[in-house]
């Protein structure tokens, strides 16, 4: 790592922050959260690869770092596929509270 | 532990370096699943509640949130500078970069505290003064999630600030010879930054164009 590389990474991170904040005000429907998460992933990769030095790490360290994210992906995918495909009707909280016991 | 005095379990300095780094990443993996469950919870709530959830998120303070993100990203760059200058054997430079890192971390926590204060003023704090008639029940669930996620993140940052200050003190006094602690605490600091990178769009960027 050199100072030049660190501050170039910082510049990229700040530009991505400005982009994602600006895009949040553009009406793009469900693309808003997808773009926001894609930019977040790009920022996270810059931090992981350069600041957290995965670029210069041994394969063992890289595998250990990737394992955590891989398990997280499984957890999010499985809980998401469950909730996304539930067919029972959503009951608004207000109606539950107003209903007689 | 001084890195120039190897423990008997290590054959070489490189092995020591890899072992301590692997230990840190194993810890960070547990932290990742811990914060990851909060993100999974957010995504499921968002699927469940749809527009009401997104509307609730628009009550957060985007200017303060964006400023805090910039502050945290800058603190990570300072931390990387501390690790880099320490790695090439400097003593004064890493202390200054560590102090800058801690100062930026503290600025983040103070701004976060100011945000909590504003949210208290606006009756947005569940269990204390949430105005469900004004904001709706879904917003109450959102803000419950919000205070859990940002509170746990701020707690991690406070722990990080104390560790960074301890490092600055130890390096400044010359009682810490090994470059490993700076590198490992640096990994922790950057990880807390990565968590925020994902919390930021979920909390602050939802519901800004509706």
Q: Which of A11-20, B42-51, B63-72, B190-199 shows the lowest per-residue confidence on average (mean pLDDT)?
A: B42-51
* Range B130-136 average pLDDT: 92
Residues B182-203: what's their mean pLDDT?
97
With left for phi above 0 and alpha for psi between -120 and 50, is residue A53 left, alpha or beta?
left
Q: What is the pLDDT of residues B31-78, one digit of tens each?
A: 999 999 999 999 999 988 889 999 999 999 999 999 999 999 999 999
Mutate to test the interface with A, among B34, B66, B76 (most CBs of A within 10 A): B76
- Tokens coding B120: 């208290």
What is the reported pLDDT for B154?
A: 98
Instruction: Please give the residue of chain B at the shortest CA–CA distance from A95.
Output: B137
- Candidates A55, A24, A17; CA nearest to A39 is A17
**Cβ contact (<8 Å) for A58 and B18?**
yes
Interface test with B, best of A35, A65, A74 (most B CBs within 10 A): A65
So what's the pLDDT on residue B18?
92
CB contact under 8 A, B26 and A50: no
How many CA within 13 A on the CB side of residue B202? 23
Residue A88: the pLDDT is 61
Which pLDDT does position A93 carry in this prediction? 66
Q: What is the nearest CA distance from B207 to chain A, expressed in angstroms? A: 8
Looking at residue A99, its pLDDT comes to 72
Q: What value does the mean pLDDT take over residues B99-128?
A: 97
DSSP conformation letters of B87-154: HTT-SHHHHHHHHHHHHHHHHHHHHHHHHHHHHHHTT--TTTT--HHHH-HHHHHHHHHHHHHHHHHH
Which pLDDT does position A92 carry in this prediction?
A: 66
Overall pTM > 0.95 = no
Which of A7, A36, A79 minimises the CB distance to B205? A36
Interface of B with A in 74-113 (CB under 8 A): 74, 76-77, 79-81, 83-84, 87
pLDDT at B11 over 90: no
Q: Is the pLDDT of residue A91 over 90?
A: no
Q: Tell whether B201 lies on the interface with A, counting CB pairs under 8 A.
A: yes
Sign of CA dihedral B173, B176, B179, B182: negative
CB contact under 8 A, B28 and A33: no
CA distance A99 to chain B (A): 15
Arithmetic mean of pLDDT, B106-111: 98
For chains A and B, CB pairs below 8 A equal 141
Q: Is the ipTM of this complex over 0.90?
A: yes
Q: Do A60 and B191 touch (CB under 8 A)?
A: no
Over residues B94-114, mean pLDDT:
98
Give the rounded distance of the alpha carbon of B20 from its chain centre: 21
- B1: confidence class by pLDDT, cuts 50, 70, 90: very low
Does the pLDDT of residue B24 top 60, yes or no? yes
Task: Compute the distance between CA of residue A93 and CA of residue B48 in angstroms, rounded to an integer.
Answer: 12
Selected residue with higher pLDDT from A81 and A89: A81
Closest CA in chain B for residue A1: B84
- Which tens digit of pLDDT belongs to each residue from A30-87? 899 999 999 999 999 999 999 999 999 999 999 999 999 999 999 999 988 887 777 6
Question: What's the average model confidence in pLDDT over B185-189?
Answer: 97
How close, in Å, is residue B3 to chain A by CA atoms?
18
Q: What is the mean pLDDT of chain B?
A: 94
Closest CA to A42 of B201, B44, B42: B201
């Amino acid at each position: 790592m050199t100072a030049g590389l660190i501050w170039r990474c910082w510049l990229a991170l700040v530009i991505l922050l400005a982009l994602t904040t600006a895009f949040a005000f553009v009406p793009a429907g469900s693309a808003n959260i997808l773009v926001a998460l894609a930019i977040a992933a790009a920022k996270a990769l810059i931090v992981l690869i350069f600041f957290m030095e995965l670029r210069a790490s041994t394969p063992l360290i890289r595998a250990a770092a990737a394992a955590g994210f891989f398990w997280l992906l499984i957890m999010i995918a499985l809980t998401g596929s469950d909730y996304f495909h539930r067919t029972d009707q959503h009951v608004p909280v207000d109606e539950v509270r107003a209903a007689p016991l | 532990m001084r890195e120039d005095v190897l423990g008997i379990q290590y054959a070489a300095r490189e092995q020591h370096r890899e072992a301590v780094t692997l230990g840190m990443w194993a810890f960070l993996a547990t932290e990742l699943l811990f914060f990851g469950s909060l993100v999974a919870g957010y995504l499921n709530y968002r699927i469940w509640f749809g527009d009401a959830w997104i509307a609730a998120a628009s009550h957060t303070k985007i200017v303060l949130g964006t400023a805090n993100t910039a502050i945290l990203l800058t603190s990570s760059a300072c931390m990387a500078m501390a690790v880099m200058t320490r790695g090439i054997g400097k003593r004064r430079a890493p202390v200054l970069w560590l102090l800058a890192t801690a100062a930026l971390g503290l600025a983040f926590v103070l701004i976060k505290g100011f945000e909590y204060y504003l949210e208290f003023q606006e009756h947005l704090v569940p269990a204390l003064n949430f105005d469900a008639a004004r904001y709706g029940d879904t917003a109450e669930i959102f803000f419950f999630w919000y205070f859990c996620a940002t509170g746990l993140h701020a707690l991690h940052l406070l722990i990080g600030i104390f560790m960074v200050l301890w490092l600055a003190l130890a390096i400044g006094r010359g009682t810490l010879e090994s470059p490993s602690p700076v590198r490992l605490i640096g990994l922790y600091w950057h990880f807390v930054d990565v968590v925020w990178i994902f919390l930021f769009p979920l909390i602050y960027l939802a519901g800004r164009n509706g």
